C-alpha cells in the first residue's frame, strides 16, 4: 500500500495513531511563543493540519484559525472538530491565503512532507508571503545528521473491540536530501491481526541548511524541543522548535 493510500484509508484512525501526543501542551507553547515573538495579531493558519487538534486548542485560546491539508478525509474530520474554522485542500508548498495571517504553524514534523529541498524552499517562501509584517512561522524539525535509524517510538490504544499498536521511526540512508518516516500499524480484533507498513518520503536537512533556507525571509530562533519551557537550542539535539519572525 502506498503512503498516500495508507494515509487516506486510515484517516479514521489518525487520532488513535497520535493519541500519545499532547496537543494542548504544544498549542499552549505556540501561544507563549506568539506572545513573546509575534505581532499581536490573532489570524492563524495550520499547515498539514490533519484532523485539526492544534486548531481546536488555538481557537479556544482566541485565535481565528484556518487549516490546510492535502487529504480531504482529514479535512472533513477537522471541520467536524472545528466548525468555526476554515479549511482548504492545498499543498503546503504552493498554498495561498485570501487574507494575510499573523501566525503559521506546522507541527508533528510535517514540514518534512515538502519532500525535497526545492519543495521546502517553496513552502518557506509561501509562508513568508502569507504572513503579516512581524508574523511568526513556528514548526518543529529533525536534523538528518542526528537520525538514529534503529530508534523507534511505539504506543498502543484500544478502540471498541480493536487493539492498535502504532510504531514509527526516522530512516536516513546517510546521503542526499530525502529521509523516510517509517510507519507500522497493527490492528487486532477477535484474535485476527492486520498489519500495515509504509514509508513516507520526507525532505532531509541539517539545521544549518534549514537556517540558510529561512534566513532570506525570517529572523530565526531555534529552541529546544520542550513544551514545558522555552529554552534556547543546545546545539546538539536532533529535534528542535523553529521560531521564524518575518523580516
Residue 149: which pLDDT band, with cuts at 50, 70 and 90? very high
pLDDT at 22: 95
pLDDT at 160: 87
Q: Pick from 166, 148, 147, 146: which is nearest to 156 by CA? A: 166
User: Would you call 63 helix, strand, or coil by DSSP?
Assistant: coil
pLDDT at 13: 74
User: Would you call 195 helix, strand, or coil by DSSP?
Assistant: strand
Cβ pair 135, 39 in contact under 8 A: yes
Cβ pair 13, 185 in contact under 8 A: yes
Q: Across residues 122-142, what is the average pLDDT?
A: 98
pLDDT at 8: 46
Residues 187-238 have pLDDT tens digits of: 999 989 999 888 999 999 999 999 999 999 999 999 999 999 999 999 999 9
pLDDT at 196: 87
Compute the CA torsion angle 10, 14, 17, 21 (nearest 10 deg).
170
Distances from the Cα of 79 to the Cα of 51, 55, 56, 67, angstroms: 8, 10, 10, 9
Amino acid at each position: 500500500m502506498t503512503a498516500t493510500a495508507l494515509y487516506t484509508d486510515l484517516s479514521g484512525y489518525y487520532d488513535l495513531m497520535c493519541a500519545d501526543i499532547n496537543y494542548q501542551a504544544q498549542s499552549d507553547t505556540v501561544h507563549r511563543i506568539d506572545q513573546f515573538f509575534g505581532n499581536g495579531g490573532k489570524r492563524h493558519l495550520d499547515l498539514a493540519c490533519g484532523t485539526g487538534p492544534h486548531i481546536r486548542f488555538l481557537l479556544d485560546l482566541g485565535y481565528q484559525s484556518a487549516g490546510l491539508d492535502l487529504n480531504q478525509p482529514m479535512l472533513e474530520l477537522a471541520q467536524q472538530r472545528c466548525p468555526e474554522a476554515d479549511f482548504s485542500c492545498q499543498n503546503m508548498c504552493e498554498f495561498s491565503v485570501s487574507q494575510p495571517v499573523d501566525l503559521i504553524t506546522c507541527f508533528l514534523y510535517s514540514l518534512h512532507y515538502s519532500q525535497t529541498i526545492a519543495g521546502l524552499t517553496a513552502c518557506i517562501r509561501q509562508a513568508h508571503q502569507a504572513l503579516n509584517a512581524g508574523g511568526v512561522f513556528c514548526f518543529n524539525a529533525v536534523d538528518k545528521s542526528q537520525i538514529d535509524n534503529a530508534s523507534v517510538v511505539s504506543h498502543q490504544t484500544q478502540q471498541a473491540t480493536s487493539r492498535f499498536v502504532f510504531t514509527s521511526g526516522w530512516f536516513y540512508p546517510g546521503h542526499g536530501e530525502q529521509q523516510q518516516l517509517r510507519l507500522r500499524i497493527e490492528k487486532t480484533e477477535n484474535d485476527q491481526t492486520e498489519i500495515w507498513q509504509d514509508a513516507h518520503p520526507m525532505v532531509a536537512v541539517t539545521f544549518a541548511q534549514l537556517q540558510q533556507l529561512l534566513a532570506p525571509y525570517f529572523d530565526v530562533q531555534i529552541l529546544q524541543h520542550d513544551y514545558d519551557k522555552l529554552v534556547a537550542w543546545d546545539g546538539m539535539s536532533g529535534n528542535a522548535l523553529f521560531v521564524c519572525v518575518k523580516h
